[in-house]
Amino acid sequence: MVRQLRPKKQLLVASVIGAMLVLAGCSAETTAQWGRFGLPESASDRAPYIGNLWVGAWIASLVVGVFVWGLIVWVMIRYRRRTPDEHPRQTRYNLPLELLYTLVPFLIIGVLFFYTVQAQNSVLAKETTQPATTVNVIGQKWSWTFNYMEDQNPAVGAVVHEAGTIDRIPDLYLPVDKPVRFNLASADVIHSFWIPAFYFKLDVIPGRTNSFDVTPEKLGTYSGKCAELCGTYHAAMLFTVHVVTEEEYTAYLNKLKAAGQVGEIKAPDYPNVVPSVPAEGEKK
C-alpha cells in the first residue's frame, strides 16, 4: 500500500521536480551565464576584475542572506509558542548581540570596499606605453562620434571619423588583441560610454576629457550604449562594436578615408563657469 504524501510534502516534491526540469532544459550558454550571475560573456582584458568583483559580491550577499534566513527560521521554531498562555521572556537589551549586528555590517562593507578599490584601480590602470590605437569619442544628443587618430599609422595616414545620428547607429571598429585608448568628451550634457561585454563604462562629461585603456580579446560584434539618462532620446544613443582583425580594421578606416570622412571632429568648448553678475551701479 502506497502512503499518500501530505499536501505540504506534495508541494515540496513538485517544486523540486519542477526546478530539476527547468535546469535540464537550460542551454550550456544560459547555465554559464548563471555562473556569471547575469553578466554577458567577457570580451576585454579588463573584464575579469569587474567580473570577479561582481561574482564575489553576489556570493557574499547569498551567504549573508542564507545566514539571516536561517536565523529567522530557527527563531520561529525554537521560540514558538507552545501553549495558549505562553509569552516570550522580555529582554531590555543584549549588549553582545547589539555589538554583533553593529560591527558585522561594517566588516562586510569594509571588505567589499577594499576589493572594489582594487578592481577600480586595475580597470583604470593605463598602459605603460602609448597604445597603438587611439579613439577620441564624442557623446552628443543623441548619438556618438568616433575619431580614429591614425595619422601616424602608415597603413592609414590620416585621422578619420564616423558620426552617428539619432536615425543611424554608428559603428565602432577595434582591432583584436591591440591596446586601445579611448578619450571621451561631451558636446552638450553628461553621457556615459558603455560596452557591456567589456564590463566597463565611464562618464562623458562636458568640459572634461576622461580616458581609459582596454584591449579587446575576442572577435565578434557587441552592443554599446549610453548608460546615463541624458535627455528625451537617451534610448537612441546606441552604437555597434566590431572587434576585428588588424587587416579588417585598417580596411575599414581606409574605406572611411576614401569616403571623405577625414579630419577630427571636436566637441565645442563648454561654458563650465557661471557668468559673473555686475555689481549694483556697475556698467553692464
Q: What is the pLDDT of residues 165-205, one digit of tens each?
A: 888 999 999 999 999 999 999 988 899 999 999 988 999 99
Boundaries of domain holding 155 = 133-258
Q: Are residues 254 and 138 in the same domain?
A: yes
In a domain, 283, yes or no: no
**Structural domain contains residue 205:** yes
- Do 30 and 142 have their domain in common? no
Model-level pTM? Answer: 0.75
Q: Are residues 146 and 224 in the same domain?
A: yes
111 lies in the same domain as 164: no
Asked whether residue 276 is assigned to any structural domain, the reply reads no
Indicate if 206 and 229 belong to the same structural domain: yes
In terms of domains, do 253 and 137 share one?
Answer: yes
pLDDT at res. 79: 80
Q: Are residues 163 and 48 in the same domain?
A: no
Residue 275 lies in a domain: no
- The answer on 229 and 145 residing in a single domain is yes
The dihedral sign for the CA sequence 67, 70, 76, 78: negative
Question: b/e for 64-90, b at 16 or more Cβ within 10 A?
Answer: eeeeeeeeeeeeeeeeeeeeeeeeeee
- Does 282 map to a domain? no
Same domain? 111 vs 174 = no
**Residue 25 is assigned to a structural domain of this protein:** yes
What's the total number of domains in the chain?
Answer: 3
Cα 245 to Cα 131: distance, rounded to the nearest angstrom: 16
Task: Mark the ranges of the chain whose per-residue pLDDT is less than 50.
Answer: 1-2, 271-275, 284
Do 55 and 168 lie in one domain? The reply is no
What are residue 266's phi and psi, to 5 degrees?
-110, 150
Residue 266 lies in a domain: no
Question: Does residue 230 sit in the same domain as residue 137?
Answer: yes
Note whether residue 155 is domain-resident: yes
Q: What is the pLDDT of residue 274?
A: 45
Q: What are the distances in angstroms from CA 278 to CA 109, 272, 274, 275? A: 49, 19, 12, 9
70 and 164 share one domain? no
pLDDT at 145: 94
The predicted structure's pLDDT at residue 21:
54
